[in-house]
Amino acid sequence: MRKAVIKEIKQGSLAERAGLKRGDQILKINGQHIKDIIDYKFLITDEILHIHIKTKEGQKRVLTIEKNFDEDLGIEFENPLIDGIMRCKNKCIFCFVDQMPKGLRPSLYVKDDDYRLSILEGTFITLTNLTEEDLKRIVSMRLSPLYISVHATSGKIRKTMLKNPAAEKIMDHLTFLKENGIFFHCQIVLCPDVNDKEVLDQTLQDLFSLYPSVQSIAVVPVGITKYRQGLYPLRRFTQEEAERIIEKVELLQHRNLSRFGTRLVFLADEFYEIAKRDFPPSETYEDFPQWENGVGMVPLLKEQLARLIKRVPAALPEKRWVKIATGVSAFRFLSEALSSLRNVENLEFEICPIKNNFFGESVTVAGLITGKDLIDQLKERLKDKKEQYIVLLPEVMLKDETVFLDGITVRDVERSLGAKVIVVKIDGKDFLEKLTGMSLGVKP
């Protein structure tokens, strides 16, 4: 059993007031040992807690805390899960980790497949490494909703894609979860000539049959880098193929809306970019159940910008020079969305699509741009500068708003470019305020 050692305590929290300190180890709560973070979160829902600890000096004590049912203690552990991460046992033909070169952040090479992270952080799992005990625990503790990478409901196809015999049992597992009241969101990473066409048709119909346990389905195109030597031969979707997929899914959305009251299945924004099609209205994505999976992110930002851009004044009080760094796929959208700002006095901006030389030019999303590519390409655009430029970076490029995939930091970028760097949320209000340097005076 791993140790529940405290790394940080939030200032003013219940834990701080009770006398807990960094380095203390929690042994038991109300007489129960803590297996992992799920146990911890379950045990602290009691309103009276008797916490057995071992201090960093080696002394054993019992602290009592009275709290509300949903009140957090304010503790961060040295190991966020308390015990180890459940590793992925698959060898997926499309695995992005296998397509990465050496030299990136170490955490990027960790292949997790952990149902605890699925509950806590919304990461996708395959269910292939779950034991009967794990499944029973999910049901008994009502760990819901889960985020599940399905890819195909055909056992034969899924086993081929994940290279794991346990992958065949996907419909058995999903049916078990449905019968036991567990809800889940599903993901399909779509690979040309593997799980598209008739296979996709079957997969979607099988998942529709599990509604309402299935709460949403995201269809995402496979990501391919230039580092695929020796791996399964995959390719990107063509424009024509993407158009057919869009037509198919939009027809199913219309039928599902009548049948279930929800569209249920949603396409990643990248499909509309590949097809060079206009994005559907933001309301098409309902409550954006898979926004962080790149589903509806651009349409929502587009709607926010269209609504808020009217509040930008005709002139700024001071001259402002801005470079907007983004992925190649967002260039067309941003150029159209910001076109009316070209007439704003004292605002000079350029949208800079950063080509992904690191992973290959077929990777066009902002979230996979490295600090080196950013610096190399913006240096060229800033070499003749005569004024102080501001560089806007979308937060998806960074981890914790500070570090790129290759370990380069925001501060490194500022030093290399001699420009001020501002990180922008994927939010229309935040974007426009940081672009103009002015408050728009409205809520997000």
pLDDT at 235: 94
What distance in Å separates the CA atoms of residue 61 and residue 198, rounded to the nearest whole number? 62
- Residue 22 phi/psi, 5-degree rounding, is -60, 135
Q: Hey, what CATH topology would domain 303-436 get?
A: Rossmann fold (3.40.50)
Q: For 4-77, CATH number?
A: 2.30.42.10
Residue 108 pLDDT > 80: no
pLDDT at 105: 73
pLDDT band at 271 (very low <50, low <70, confident <90, very high): very high
- Classify burial at 20, counting beta carbons within 10 Å of its beta carbon; exposed 0-12, middle 13-18, buried 19 or more: buried
**Percent of residues, the chain, with pLDDT higher than 70:** 98
Residue 307 pLDDT > 70: yes
Q: For 97-295, CATH number?
A: 3.80.30.10
pLDDT at 1: 55
pLDDT at 385: 66
Torsion sign across C-alpha atoms 67, 71, 74, 79? positive
Range in 68-72, 355-359, 397-401, 412-416 with the lowest mean pLDDT: 397-401
Instruction: Please state the rounded mean pLDDT for residues 351-369.
Output: 93
What distance in Å separates the CA atoms of residue 77 and residue 7, rounded to the nearest whole number? 5
pLDDT band at 324 (very low <50, low <70, confident <90, very high): very high
Residue 443 pLDDT > 80: no
Q: pLDDT: is 443 or 278 the higher one? A: 278
Average pLDDT for the chain: 93
Residue 390 pLDDT > 90: yes
Instruction: Please state the rounded mean pLDDT for residues 76-99.
Output: 91
Q: Sketch the domain layout of the chain as residue ranges.
A: 4-77, 97-295, 303-436
Residue 400 pLDDT > 90: no
Instruction: Please state the rounded mean pLDDT for residues 298-325.
Output: 94
Residue 388 pLDDT > 90: no
pLDDT band at 382 (very low <50, low <70, confident <90, very high): confident
Instruction: Please state the rounded mean pLDDT for residues 311-334.
Output: 93
What distance in Å separates the CA atoms of residue 434 and residue 356, rounded to the nearest whole number? 25
What distance in Å separates the CA atoms of residue 370 and residue 360, rounded to the nearest whole number? 11
Instruction: Please state the rounded mean pLDDT for residues 424-439.
Output: 95
pLDDT band at 442 (very low <50, low <70, confident <90, very high): low
Residue 283 pLDDT > 80: yes
pLDDT at 17: 93
